[in-house]
Structure 1
């Protein structure tokens, strides 16, 4: 959407087409595990259907793309329909990592609007829930479910939530945030099976859950890019600071990219909404013939109960953490090789 809007703002009459596998109108994804699941944000659409008509952007929804022919410069969809292109942007995002245990298909994912609707409806009739995974989405979803009056438990293999991303010190404080929100956290535990009544841990312990949510992470969907012969590395599509891939007039943005960031001075992976939107803007400008580079500092926000966590930077798992507690939360600064590489601010809402 960001790329299409940006290109259209520079070229009013060149045809712009969006092909999407999702049957819904383009929507904001961060609120799915925040406001929408909590019942505070019913409308997630980025634009109305009329907006696409007024801006002459053709939106084709619910379509499966079979392949990209970079030589012929065309995209082929299911049924053999050929869509020629002058410039092409790949923004295929990520797919959820399935919970590969017996009964794992009973766990509900939370990635798409359809997922969020299904989970929200299931929560209406649930007394208990289990969230498998202690990452950002898992923590947000668990806090929302607890806020709806559902007795919620997180089960995660790490000792504390968000440990791999932010470290143990921050994770210990997140446990307290979750507890304040009514969420029980079971760390250093692995799910052996999912049943209709909850989950069974490898220790044999059972955790009740009328609803089980699989928040076991995502994997960039680079299948089309790889099949088209684009250069990839570590499961991501390699792009420069202008979002150009190795193929002529083909760009990539969002979760799938290993993109050079001018400010970081290196290629970085960033699987967050703000960065994806900014990369789309850069790709749109580049395709339109305007100078643009990805130079914004990466960042995202997370809501856990009454707390909002704001992160900026590119810290690595081996970065050291300096944490300072405050009355309304805490601050953490991450350092690597003697320089600051990330900051995290956790702040309780004023109403709390």
Structure 2
């Protein structure tokens, strides 16, 4: 496979910007064009629901310094979107009407917030979203958060940090239950309740009103600020109209992040990756996945045939609780806890058929390397070993 001379990256988020930098790090001397719909240069998302929303920082972490792109001859086109991908012609049409030809192309279009029919309120996906929501979080306000996932819980914590009254609505029985299961989800609920958050669980939103929402059980909740935190939808329109294979809610890519179209790759939120570690497609909408896949796909764009094998990783900070999660488990996997949930200082493990699928350390910071090794190996371990044995020796 000949080395490309022209690489186009669609998406100026973390995956796309990281891939551009990694291409230069690998010595690629050809042309790199990055198209991004936002007017801000590429930045990382975690701070938007944490330090920026809390008012501890005015800006997120930028992927690169402003001068990086010009210094490295990366053509960063902000405020420009891709309208049409023509894989057979190796061409892309952008919102300025330009037809851009490429030797290799990376789709890193990310996700957009999901919305509910008739919804009125804030979403949180961009830096501008975070600034707008931060301006609305004032001490005299009642904030209604629709959705008790990661973004919903982090927004609730930030709103309480600003002195707002907070109510969280979710049709499921506990926060985060789809990821962490009912026991750990209940621990997060009690954490928020101890900080004054009210939950309305087991019922969804029937309709929105000018002053709040009406729930499925008929109750009306009045609010000054409504936040929609009901998940994100991958931006697949470009891939779909181009005829690329889709699977598992995303763009189907092989182990190296190559799509079904010649010379087209995908990374980040949209990539439904044929993961060699798990034996099935995995699509992850987290910071580390975007960053790590962006770094890896640079090699694939240059002709390397190495599989991407990293385990999913994400983290959260809510009040005085910090957490890291590694691996990929389901809520029905066997939960093993080292320590006490109520202490909010413990390690949780998830087992399936005697093999470790995931681990989560909560306010425990000494075992990250061992936990990563155990999860990557999908180690065969017993609950007793996980509760009592030295984790470094198990790894």
Q: How does 1:284-323 map to 2 (within 5 A)?
A: 284-290=298-304, 292-323=306-337
- Tell me, in whole angstroms, the C-alpha distance in 2 between the residues paired with 1:7 and 1:348: 36
Name the structure 1 match of 2:71: 54
Deviates further, 304-313 or 176-185: 176-185
1:146 corresponds to 2:160: yes
Would the aligned equivalents of 1:32 and 1:113 in 2 still touch at CA under 8 Å? yes
Q: Secondary structure at the match of 1:167?
A: helix
Name the structure 2 match of 1:9: 25
Deviates further, 140-149 or 264-273: 264-273
1:34 corresponds to 2:25: no
Would the aligned equivalents of 2:82 and 2:95 in 1 still touch at CA under 8 Å? yes
TM-score normalised by L of structure 2: 0.83
Name the structure 2 match of 1:133: 147
Question: What do the CA deviations read for 1:138-197 (whole angstroms, capped 9, x no partner)?
Answer: 000110011111111111111110011111101110011112333222211211223343
**TM-superposed deviation, 1:24:** 1.3
Deviates further, 37-46 or 62-71: 37-46
Would the aligned equivalents of 1:155 and 1:190 in 2 still touch at CA under 8 Å? yes
- Tell me, in whole angstroms, the C-alpha distance in 1 between the residues paired with 2:116 and 2:320: 29
- Tell me, in whole angstroms, the C-alpha distance in 1 between the residues paired with 2:242 and 2:67: 34
Deviates further, 265-274 or 208-217: 265-274
Structure 2, gaps ≥5 residues long: 1-16, 366-395
Instruction: Please tell me the root mean square deviation across aligned C-alpha atoms, in Å.
Output: 1.8
- Tell me, in whole angstroms, the C-alpha distance in 2 between the residues paired with 1:174 and 1:328: 9
Structure 1, gaps ≥5 residues long: none
Deviates further, 261-270 or 114-123: 261-270
1:93 corresponds to 2:110: yes
Name the structure 2 match of 1:76: 93
TM-score normalised by L of structure 1: 0.93
Deviates further, 303-312 or 265-274: 265-274
1:25 to 37, 41, 59: 41
- Tell me, in whole angstroms, the C-alpha distance in 2 between the residues paired with 1:242 and 1:157: 38
Q: Which runs of 4+ in 1 moved over 4 A?
A: none
- Tell me, in whole angstroms, the C-alpha distance in 2 between the residues paired with 1:92 and 1:322: 37
Name the structure 2 match of 1:271: 285
- Tell me, in whole angstroms, the C-alpha distance in 1 between the residues paired with 2:45 and 2:284: 15
2:136 to 113, 119, 122: 122
1:253 corresponds to 2:240: no
**TM-superposed deviation, 1:291:** 5.0
Question: What do the CA deviations read for 1:109-135 (whole angstroms, capped 9, x no partner)?
Answer: 111112111111111475110000000
Q: Secondary structure at the match of 1:182?
A: coil
**TM-superposed deviation, 1:343:** 1.2
Question: What do the CA deviations read for 1:286-336 (whole angstroms, capped 9, x no partner)?
Answer: 212345431111110012211112111111243222234433423221122
Would the aligned equivalents of 1:164 and 1:317 in 2 still touch at CA under 8 Å? yes
Q: Secondary structure at the match of 2:137?
A: helix
- Tell me, in whole angstroms, the C-alpha distance in 2 between the residues paired with 1:231 and 1:156: 33
Name the structure 2 match of 1:344: 360
Name the structure 2 match of 1:67: 84
Name the structure 1 match of 2:5: none
Q: Whose helix proportion is higher, 1 or 2?
A: 2
Name the structure 1 match of 2:295: 281
Change in 2 beyond 3 A, CA 1:348/1:127: farther
Change in 2 beyond 3 A, CA 1:283/1:126: farther
